[in-house]
Amino acid sequence: MIESISLAALIKKYDIPVPRYTSYPTVPCWDTTNFNTEKWIDAVSRSFRESNDTKGISLYIHLPFCESLCTYCACNTRITKNHNVEIHYIRTTLKEWGIYKKIFGRRPLLRELHLGGGTPTFFSAENLKWLIGDILEDANIHDDYEFSFEGHPNNTTADHLKTLADLGFRRVSFGVQDLDEKVQRTINRIQPFANLQEATHLSRINAYTSVSYDLIYGLPFQTPATITDTVEKVLTLKPDRVSFYSYAHVPWLRPGQRGYEDADLPTDVMKRHLYETGRALLRSKGYEDVGMDHFALAHDPLFKAQHNGRLHRNFMGYTTNETDLLIGLGTSAISDAKYAYAQNAKKVEDYAAAIANNTLAVFKGHLQTEQDLQLKKCILAVACEGKVRRQDLLSLGDEEILPTLDAMKQEGILSANIDGFQVTALGRAFVRNVCSVFDQRMKNTQTQNQKLFSKAI
């Protein structure tokens, strides 16, 4: 029987710092003591040999430059209006790719390619053509490929969209966040709705089959009325999918977030109400929940991937295909070679200096243990399918996990059947908490990592 627990009580209990689980273990919990570049190269080589000819590989390129700082942002960025930086950065990134190609030993089979940032459309269309063109020149393309990029509605041009479409890009994600003027001024991201309309129109006429918007709830001065207005406006443009993220308030890590007071943020209960307000509007227009934080129409590849059991999650977020090797190029980019993780130097200058010296720019990493891989499998099942399989639980042999899941069942966050546990409709807002049940490394370092994650709700 489900215990009679109020929503407010559940929020109070579970609104604690936990990761977003684009990996396991998460970066702050990596064991870096036994890691070195040689071991990383071995892991990349092994993963490439095992999976390139079948699954193919994923490629993430981090383009960190932005002309102005959005104060809510927790990404690794470099603020500048000097576009001369584009040339040197692209040369460095292509040289890094050349180092990885030597490790591969033969042509890679590209299945996923994503441009993230920063602001990828900070770069000119001509320079993006140079970057992507050089990468594709020495690679084969998987039959079931997906190329995507993040665009800013204020500076994504018809030239950007056509150039990337000609190179095989069919998905674009626009960072909207919020359309209320007061909220926009507070987070220093002024973008008129007309710019989003134009960018979306240009995407459609350039054959982009999946147009996505990123929205954020929990920002300063948001109310149910402003959330309603933002969601209703963006839905008039009929995006194929919408990401509805919880604002990560970590001013101790991102000083830009000190531009407003904690009192300007919604309370935990109100934040949950903002989420439910936006979710109800999305679902009323035919958007279905996909994983956590995402909504998609039935024709969108992300929805189909979930329906067909192919939804995957990695450092790029949710993806439509699972690959075992993800190479991250650029400053601060993170790579996943199945048996190990690695992150590039966070400063542009340090990254460029390493590559100029003909070495990888990796500055830390983690070697996966068998237990890590088992726990990662469970966490991905929760994040992608909303499921906890009983057979996976039995293989873990952890006596603490099952009682915790049973408690979540009593609270209505999970339901149970002969095959295991399933996240309920109520539990969708607590998926990160369910994932954290399996996070042994976070539990072992709970005190020191407490302030490295945003709150779950």
pLDDT tens digits, 6-43:
878 898 898 888 888 999 999 999 999 999 999 999 99
Sheet architecture: strand order including 171-177: 288-290, 294-296, 241-246, 210-217, 171-177, 140-151, 109-117, 57-63, 326-329, 334-336, 340-344, 362-367
Beta bridge partners of 242: 213, 295
Beta bridge partners of 166: none
Using CA atoms, how far residue 411 sits from 4, 19, 273, 441, in Å, is 7, 22, 19, 25
Residues 6+ apart with CB under 8 A from 49: none
Residue 99 carries which side chain, given as an amino acid letter? I
Beta bridge partners of 147: 113
pLDDT at 417 over 70: yes
Residue 433: pLDDT band with limits 50, 70, 90: very high
Annotated binding site for S-adenosyl-L-methionine: 60, 72-74, 117-119, 150, 177, 189, 214, 248, 334
Alpha carbon distance 361, 352 (integer Å): 8
Domain ranges for the chain: 7-12+370-449, 30-367
How crowded is the C-beta side of 259, counted as CA atoms within 13 Å?
A: 18
Annotated binding site for [4Fe-4S] cluster: 66, 70, 73
Provide the sign of the torsion angle of the four alpha carbons 53, 113, 177, 279, taken in this order: negative
Quick one: average pLDDT of 184-201?
96
CA 85 centroid distance within chain:
26
| pLDDT tens per residue, range 267-279 | 988 998 999 999 9
pLDDT at 371 over 60: yes
Q: How many CB atoms lie within 10 A of CB 236?
A: 10
Q: Please, is 150 exposed, middle or buried when counting C-beta atoms within 10 Å of its C-beta (0-12, 13-18, 19+)?
A: buried
Residue 98 carries which side chain, given as an amino acid letter? G
Q: How many CB atoms lie within 10 A of CB 266?
A: 20
| pLDDT tens per residue, range 217-231 | 999 999 999 999 999
Q: How many CB atoms lie within 10 A of CB 270?
A: 15
What pLDDT, on the 0 to 100 scale, is given for residue 8? 82
Regarding pTM above 0.85, the answer is yes
Is there a common fold for 7-12+370-449 and 30-367?
no
| Greatest pairwise CA separation for the chain in angstroms | 64
CA 400 centroid distance within chain:
29
Residue 286 carries which side chain, given as an amino acid letter? G
Share of the chain above pLDDT 90, in %: 81
Annotated binding site: 60, 66, 70, 72-74, 117-119, 150, 177, 189, 214, 248, 334
Nearest to 117 by CA among 64, 59, 174, 172: 64
The number of residues in the chain equals: 457
Q: Considering the chain, what is the average pLDDT of its residues?
A: 93
CA 11 centroid distance within chain:
24
* Fold of the CATH domain 30-367: pyruvate-formate lyase- activating enzyme (3.80.30)
Nearest to 379 by CA among 304, 421, 437: 437
What pLDDT, on the 0 to 100 scale, is given for residue 451? 58
Cis link prior to 133 (omega < 30° from 0)? no
Tokens at residue 106, please? 């033969």
Domain range 7-12+370-449, CATH architecture? Orthogonal Bundle (1.10)
Q: Count Cβ neighbours within 10 Å for each residue of 84-118 and write b for 16 or more, e otherwise.
A: ebbeebbbbbeebbebbbeebeeebbbbbbbbbbb
| pLDDT tens per residue, range 305-326 | 999 999 999 999 999 989 999 9
